[in-house]
Amino acid sequence: MEFLVVSVLNGVVHGLLLFMVSAGLTLIFGMMGVLNFAHAWFYMLGAYVGFTLSRTVGFWAGLIAAPIIAGAGGMLVERYMLRRVHKYGHAHELLLTFGLAFIIEEVIKLFYGDFPVNYAMPPYMKFSAFTIYDTNYPFYRLFMGIVALAMFAVLYVVLTRTRVGIIVRAATYRPVMVEALGHNLPMVFMGVFAAGAALAGLAGAVAGAFFPTGPNMAVDFGTLVFVVVVVGGLGSLEGALVASLMIGLFISFSVGFNWSLSDVLGLVGLGDWARGVGGLLTLQLSTIAASMPFLLMLLVLLIRPAGLFGDRQ
Partner 1 sequence: MSRSGRTGLLALVAILLVLPLPLTPNLVNAAIKMMIAGLFALSFSLAMGQAGMLSFGHSAYYGLGAFATLHLMKAVEGHLVAWPTPLLPLAGAAVGLFFGLVFGWLATQRTGVYFAMVTLALAELLFTLAPTWNSVFGGESGISTMRMNSWAIDFATDTGVYYLTLAWVALSTWCLWAFTRTPMGRLALAVRENEHRVRFLGFNTHGARTVIFAISTMFTGVAGALLAIANEATNYTIFSAQASANVVLQTFIGGAGTFFGPALGAAIMTFFARVTSDLTRSWLLYQGLVFVLVMLFVPDGIGGLISLHARRLRATAVRHLTLPYLLCLVVGLLLLAGVVFTVESVHVVLSDAYAVLRRGNGGALVPYTLFGRKFDPVSPWTWAIPVGSIAAGAALLPLARRLTRRGWSQALLETTA
Partner 2 sequence: MRKFWVALALAGAGCWATGTAEAEPVKIAIIETLSGGQAAVGKMFLTAINYGLIKLNNEKVWPDGIKVLEYDNQGGPSEAADKMKAAINDGAHIIIQGASSAIGGQITDDVRKHNLRNPGKEIIYFNVGAEAMEFTGSRCHFYHFRWNGNAEIRLRALLTAMKDANALGKKVYVIGQNYSWGHDVQRLVKEYSAFGGYTVVGDVIHDVNKIQDFAPYVAKIKEANPDTVITGNWSSDLLLLMKAAGDSGLKVRFGTYWMDQPGNVANAGATAIGHYNVSSYYPEANGTATAQFADDFKAKMGQYPVFVQGHTVHGIWGLGEALKKMKPGPDGKVNVKQLALAMETVSFNTSMGEVAMRKEDHQVLLPLVVATVSKEAKYKVDGTDMGFKPVRLVSGKDAASPVQSTCKMERPGS
Q: Which of 56, 134, 268, 302 binds partner 2 (CB under 8 A)?
A: 134
| Residue 95 CB, nearest approach to partner 1 (Å) | 6
> Contact with partner 1 (CB under 8 A): which of 4, 5, 57, 103?
103
Terminal C-alpha separation, the chain: 42
Q: Is 226 in the site for partner 1 (CB under 8 A)?
A: yes
Residues of this chain, 220-279, that bind partner 2 according to CB under 8 A: 220-221, 248, 251-253, 255-256
**Which of partner 2, partner 1, none is residue 266 near (CB under 5 to 8 Å by kind)?**
none
Is 142 one of the binding residues for partner 1 (CB under 8 A)? no
CA distances from 243 to 16, 191, 215 (A): 10, 25, 27
Cβ-based neighbour number of residue 287 at 10 Å: 13
Could you tell which of partner 1, partner 2, none binds residue 7, using a CB distance below 5 to 8 A set by kind?
partner 2
Q: For partner 1, which residue of 18, 31, 70, 96 counts as binding (CB under 8 A)?
A: 96
Helix, coil or strand: residue 27: helix
Which residue in the set 107, 146, 153, 219 belongs to the binding site for partner 2 (CB under 8 A)?
Answer: 219
Q: Between residue 157 and residue 216, which ones bind partner 2 under the rule CB under 8 A?
A: 210-216
Rounded Cα distance, 282 and 280, in Å: 6
Complex with partner 2: residue 80 or 133, whichever CB lies closer: 133
User: What's phi and psi for 282, nearest 5 deg?
Assistant: -100, 10
Give the three-class secondary structure for 284: strand
Partner from partner 2, partner 1, none binding residue 10, C-beta < 5-8 Å depending on class:
partner 2
- Contact predicate 18/183, CB 8 Å: no
**Of how many residues is the chain composed?**
313
Rule CB under 8 A: is residue 52 a binding residue for partner 2?
A: no
180 is an interface residue for partner 1 by CB under 8 A: no
Q: Which of 12, 23, 31 is nearest to 240 (CA)?
A: 23
Query: Helix, strand, or coil here: 213?
Result: strand
Q: DSSP per residue over 289-309, as a string?
A: GGGHHHHHHHHHHHH-TTTTT
Judged by the rule CB under 8 A, the positions of this chain that interact with partner 2 are 3, 6-7, 10-11, 13-14, 17, 109, 113-118, 120, 128, 131, 134-138, 141, 210-216, 219-221, 248, 251-253, 255-256, 284, 286-291
